[in-house]
Amino acid sequence: MDQRPVSEPGGSPPSWHLAKPHDTLTQGLVVSGFASLPTGRALFLEFGWKGVPRKGGGAWLQKLAEIAPVTDADGRDAKCAAMGFTFEGLRKMGLNKNTLASFDRPFKEGMFQEDRLRRLGDRRGEEWLQTVIPGGPKWSGNTPLDDAARDDEVRAFDDIAQHDVEQRIKTPVTVHALLMLYEKDEESAEAWCAQVSAALAPFEITVVHRLPLDLRLDDHGIAREHFGFADGISQPVPYEDGVVVDKSGQSAPKDYWNGVPLGEVLMGHMNGHHEIAPGPVVPDTPEGRDAGLPAHPKAEGFLDLGLDGSYMVVRELKQDVPAFWESMRKGAERIRTSDPEHSAHVTTTWLAERVIGRDTKGNLLCPAGVLPVDRYGQPDNDFGFFDRDFRGRGCPLGSHVRRANPRDGLAPKPGDKQTLLDAANSHRILRRGRKYGETISMPPVEDGKDRGLLFVALNTDLTRQFEFIQQTWLLNSNFAFLYDETDPLVGPKGTMTIPEDPLRRIVNVETFVQMAGGEYFFLPSMPALRYLAGL
């Protein structure tokens, strides 16, 4: 018997698609990361007008559609675009109060709500934490406090000494919408950006921040982030009969290890709790029906603004590549010095791979080495942890990939494996991020240039999916039998335990990734975009 974790026979399908009519109703970003277009731009937009216009708040979308139409999911295009809106952006465009109230609470409060920043590991009280760039983040949606947050009335059973009024936390740059452009090369991308900026200027819309996005695939179709590791390997695989299909047009079966109901990614579909993933609604009007919004199946008199849309988590994560590799070098050197008899195998790369949980090619670490590639020649993503690496002697318990998706590894006994795998899959997110900035040479030397990852993730329940992963898995100091440790890659400075025979090793890790900005966005469907353009 080999040493790889047990897999179901057959493996995962290489891709999934949406059947008609959902393929023309959904933004292409949901189904594809546009890998055929290696160059991209993220344009962060601010609406410059004051107040809320009575009419015309979405007119700029009509102009934008002439030069940068948002791409749907019906096939490959020569160039592509995707767009999301912050809560404050939708309000400034003139979306009515009842519709705004129908969005999910985390989206309405914004990522920079005081308690949320604490849960996400970004801020405590008045202080930004180590995992944020010095001086604090550069941009956010700057969502205003709602009425509940501004309520300073003391009631009968309140503890007066603890009655704190919520603080509004702002960033220097305000973002109301995010437009992501995908092109074949740098020259085309720059020309397209200039065209978009010129078209938006008459509408008082300014590009207040921009990032150059890059996605270069190797011969096996694998992308690498700036630390040099394969990225984007482990993704959930949505399923829904008659809606999610394979290349032949047949309903895609549920993937045993990574399958998630489509409602985990798109609103208006069945989610992991066997409920229709909720989304925003608008009053039933001729304008809404003309835009293509369907009647809401349960809310009489309303149209479904959320169907085939999603919530998009965006975080600009700055990576300190020289610091990461220098820390790995020093850590490996300390191990060899303190335990020369048993540590000849410990190298800089060996230690870095245990921080990640995979080798640099993306193959999962196992007790006997690495997991063999799948039948497509790519890193295998069909595996569980319980049967073959329960104690983390291959892939450490606290490694980044194990925290980000523990699969069945948290099961206390064999009979709980399926329950824990299903539970883990109810927190999955679909990632669509790209790295930004120049690729640094190896071995890395500090060059003072800004580089990192524009983290982009799609989900329908921000609390249960993205925020749960961040708080309960990545930043949980007692995750999986560990004590006083957090994620060694994206967490704050601390320690990491690496189980080995005849002893375990505890290594120091620094802060290598820092948040430079972030926000929650609404990724609307194509009909919802047309509706917003008519505001």
Q: What would the pLDDT profile of 222-277 be if each residue is shown by its tens digit?
A: 889 999 999 988 999 999 999 999 988 999 999 999 999 999 999 999 999 999 99
> Cis ω on the peptide bond leading into residue 21 (within 30° of 0)?
yes
First to last CA, the chain: 63
User: Positive or negative, the Cα torsion across 251, 256, 257, 259?
Assistant: positive
**pLDDT confidence bin for 10, thresholds 50/70/90:** very low
Q: 3-state DSSP call for residue 117?
A: helix
154 confidence band (pLDDT: 50, 70, 90): low
pLDDT in tens, 204-229: 999 999 999 999 887 777 889 999 99
Share of the chain above pLDDT 70, in %: 94
Quote the pLDDT of residue 23. Answer: 97
Q: Contact, 199 vs 192, CB < 8 A?
A: no
* pLDDT tens, residue by residue, 267-322: 999 999 999 999 999 999 999 999 999 999 999 999 999 999 999 999 999 999 99
Angstrom distance (rounded) from CA 323 to CA 446: 9
pTM: 0.95
Which percentage of the chain shows pLDDT scores above 90?
Answer: 86
Tens of pLDDT, residue by residue over 344-369, are 999 999 999 999 999 999 999 999 99
Predicted pLDDT at 428: 98
Name the band, by pLDDT with cuts 50, 70 and 90, for residue 158: low
DSSP designation for 305: S
Does residue 253 have a cis bond before it (omega within 30 degrees)?
no
Q: Beta-strand (E) ranges in 73-154?
A: 80-85, 123-124, 127-128, 139-140
- pLDDT band at residue 398 using 50, 70 and 90 as cut-offs: very high
Of 29, 19, 20, 18, the C-alpha closest to 524 is 29
Contact partners, residue 269, CB within 8 Å, separation at least 6:
240, 243, 261, 262, 263, 276, 277
- Cβ-in-10-Å burial (0-12, 13-18, 19+) of 500 comes to middle
